[in-house]
Amino acid sequence: MTREKIFNRRICVRALPDTNSFYAESSAEMEKDMAEKWVEVRKGGNYEEIGQRLSVSPVTARLMRNRGLSAEEEMRAYLKGDLSMLYAPDLLKDARKTAELLLDKIKEGAKIRVIGDYDIDGVCSAYILKTALQNCGANADCALPHRIRDGYGLNRNLIDDAVESGVDTIVTCDNGIAAREEIAYGKSLGMTILVTDHHEAPFTEEEGEKVYQLPAADALVNPKQPGCPYPYKELCGAGVAYKLSQLLYEIAGTGDSGEFLEFVAFATIGDVMPLTGENRILVKYGLKKLKETKNKGMQALIKECGLSEKSELTPYHVGFVLGPCMNATGRLDTAENALKLLGADTKEEAERLAKDLKQMNDVRKDLTETYLDEAVSLVESGACKGDKVLVAYLPECHESIAGIIAGRMRERYFKPSFVLTDTEEGVKGSGRSIDAYNMYEEMTKCQELFTKYGGHRQAAGFSMLRKNVEELRRILNENTCLTEEDLCEKVSIDLVLPFSAVSEELIGELRMLEPCGMGNRKPVFAARNVELNGARIFGKNHNVLKCLAKDESGVNLDAVYFGDAQSLMQEIQERRKMHLVYYPEINEYNGMRAVQIVIQKYR
């Protein structure tokens, strides 16, 4: 069958029936899990006409409309966006001023210190800025805060250390926008302080208006600061550092900022930034660079994680395999080890550091499972039971994994989740949110409970006194406007796609939508009354189920499911036919290629 016949079949682009009628065959089935609602994304458009103009199938045209793209120009940029379409770094407020100040300091021979943070974004952005400065001839070094000793971002300890080391200028990356008092302290000591960041600017509300509380730095580069004309606001810290490196190289007449693309991609994915606009282009080209990386540390980490033979690296590999290793050292030890990995001079040093990071991540995984069980107990039978905003106080939990556990709780219960733990200075916590809940703004409404806090819509971190823990849980729940509808997880389905329409050609065209991730979700399709046969469970942890799937069109496809394989096996044994949400892919094994589906959800 030709590509045109496959793509233009009416069944490929037909509308999914109303959600309720989709399950009309079994009302009991609908009641089984009301916390999850399958919803078709319905955006109007003449998909055949759009497809013809853009030389893509009606399916791909619909998928782009489903992702909020309407203008033809937007769609062309989405399909064919390249580095030439990135915005000029000059558009970032204070970016050229910052670059010129740094180059003046280089000419003076002043010592410059880059201060990053202890996560992926903080490490990658610090590496980018330090390397760019050194390539421009700077006497520059780098320091990262210790998660437990220093806490997040710029602090007095780091400033005092810089003064004692004869540092003239501090440039922050991935932090600084909320360090008002710390920057005032540094300025009182005669230091030059430059801030590059991407987090939300702190503010207070006066008569319903936001009054921003910006630090008195010598220059401030952050696309989210008020008055910044930069069109794209979702750059990560490494993205901002990359833009500054472009200006440094341009003014200095040296270097190639393209060397940093792989680290920008790594940080963008690792910091869970939306893969839209510029981020999508940066990640697309950065992943290509990463696969062919010349960085000894990245080469060693890729090899240690068993990915060196992969034909490509995807956002999944960075977000769930490589990235956690880099994050783990900042959680359980010091992020300096991750920075050393990126700066490793020899293969032997890189391999030793990569091995250490991988082992550290294995320890982190075990700790996470232990304290996640404790958090689940609190939610289902303890203090958090019935709350719309979950605040789990786990005194013994290592503070470094609080954010991971909060994320796992959000996934499990689809509620905004905070995890708090004891430290020597009091209580520290991390939060992860759902789309309907702006975590940073909700925390701002009770900021008097925190000694320090920061973050954005989807995630936040804070410190507070122990006596305020229960008060925080009470106020967040009393203030929330979340409805039951908000707390019902919506599974967005692109369209009903029978197995007869799944082909290698279709899968090849779906790749045009990559890279997929936050803000640019992977296309998923629905199939009704699918018969699953020959189910078998595999994997070291018995979390992979393989079977043969036959849908209403009578076509059989291999199917695989990753997750609670035992539960799916039980469902298959009880009723065999079910509705599926899936995406298609090519399975390559022993030189053979075959189309298969990956089951995402089932009912």
pLDDT at 541 over 90: no
- Residue 24 has a pLDDT of 35
Range in 3-17, 180-194, 305-319, 589-603 the model is least confident about: 3-17
Q: What is the mean pLDDT of residues 111-124?
A: 96
Least confident span in 79-93, 115-129, 567-581: 567-581
Determine what percent of the chain is predicted with pLDDT higher than 90.
76
DSSP symbols for 535-571: EEEESTTS-EEEEEEE-TT--EEEEEEES-HHHHHHH
Report pLDDT digits (tens) over 256-310: 999 999 999 999 999 989 999 999 999 999 999 999 999 999 999 999 999 987 7
What is the predicted pLDDT for the residue at 35? 62
Q: Identify the pLDDT of residue 285.
A: 96
Res. 220: pLDDT tops 50: yes
Of 2-16, 74-88, 522-536, 544-558, where does mean pLDDT reach its minimum? Answer: 2-16
pLDDT of residue 21: 36
Burial of 1 (0-12, 13-18, 19+ CB in 10 A): exposed
Residue 126, token pair as written in the block: 């610090």
Per-residue pLDDT band for 120 (boundaries 50, 70, 90) equals: very high
pLDDT value, residue 22: 41
pLDDT in tens, 466-499: 999 999 999 999 999 999 989 998 899 999 999 9
- Identify the pLDDT of residue 104: 97
Q: Decide the pairing of beta strands 544-550 and 525-538.
A: antiparallel
Q: How far apart are CA 238 and CA 318, in angstroms?
A: 15
Q: What is the mean pLDDT of the chain?
A: 90
Residue 436 clears pLDDT 90, i.e. is over it: yes
pLDDT digits (tens, 9 = 90+) for 157-204: 999 999 999 999 999 999 999 999 999 999 999 999 999 999 989 888
pLDDT reported for residue 43: 86
How far is residue 501's CA from residue 508's CA, in Å, rounded to a whole number? Answer: 13
Query: Can you name the residues that pair with 581 across neighbouring β-strands?
Result: 526, 601
Asked whether the CA dihedral 426, 390, 117, 449 is positive or negative, the reply is: negative
* Residue 312 confidence (pLDDT): 82
| pLDDT tens digits, one per residue of 363-398 | 988 999 999 999 999 998 877 888 999 999 999 998
What pLDDT does residue 11 have?
35
Question: Rounded distance, CA 502 to CA 551, Å?
Answer: 12
Tens digit of each residue's pLDDT (9 = 90 or more) over 85-115 = 999 999 999 999 999 999 999 999 999 999 9
> 18 pLDDT exceeds 80?
no
**What is the distance between the alpha carbons of residues 437 and 441, in angstroms, rounded to a whole number?**
9
List all residues 6 or more positions away from 349 whose beta carbon is below 8 Å from its beta carbon.
296, 340
pTM of the model: 0.85
Distances (CA, A) of 408 to 48, 392, 404: 41, 12, 6
Query: At residue 1, does pLDDT exceed 50?
Result: no
Domains and CATH numbers, the chain: 3-78+489-602 (2.40.50.460), 89-292 (3.90.1640.30), 382-479 (3.10.310.30)
